Amino acid sequence: MIEEVVMRQDIALGDFLTIFVSSALVLVFGGFYVGIYTAVKVNLLKNWTMFLAYSFWMLTAYCLYLMGSLMHVGEFTAKALVVAAIGLLLLPHAVYFMQHQVHEENEH
């Protein structure tokens, strides 16, 4: 019986730097997104800066797309990256909501 050979597309030599930089920026921008979101919520930053937080999330999503397309990720990994991007978008909302509830119940 002949086993199926997994064929995959090579990454172009000139794309490696873009891949590494965009992957790093995914988390850098993601960190800015949750950082600004949290700072606004605990009154360390003014409310108008919230749009910056969402702008950073968009940059994160773009970097994920760029990284994934240059790496030639398969269908499954592409879906995984979309899930990760949505997870990052929801993360500070969910966490802050829960924290806020606890704070309300235990105001000190």
- Contact residues: another protein, CB under 8 A: 6, 8, 10-11, 13, 16-17, 19-20, 23-24, 26-28, 30-31, 34-35, 38-39, 41-44, 71-73, 76-77, 80-81, 83-84, 87-88, 91-92, 95-96, 98-99, 102-103, 105-106, 108
Smallest gap, in angstroms, from Cβ of residue 13 to another protein?
5
- Concatenated DSSP letters for 37-95? HHHHHTTSS-GGGHHHHHHHHHHHHHHHHHHHHHHT--HHHHHHHHHHHHHHHHHHHHH
Beta carbon of residue 51, minimum distance to another protein (angstroms, whole number): 19
Q: Could you tell me the smallest distance in angstroms from the CB atom of residue 82 to another protein?
A: 10
Taking the least distance from each CB to another protein, the nearer of 51 and 69 is 69
Distance from C-alpha of 62 to C-alpha of 77, rounded to nearest angstrom: 16
71 touches 11 (CB < 8 A)? yes
Tokens linked to 65: 């797309």
Q: Which is nearer to another protein, 48 or 107 (CB)?
A: 107
| Residue 100 in tokens | 């806020």
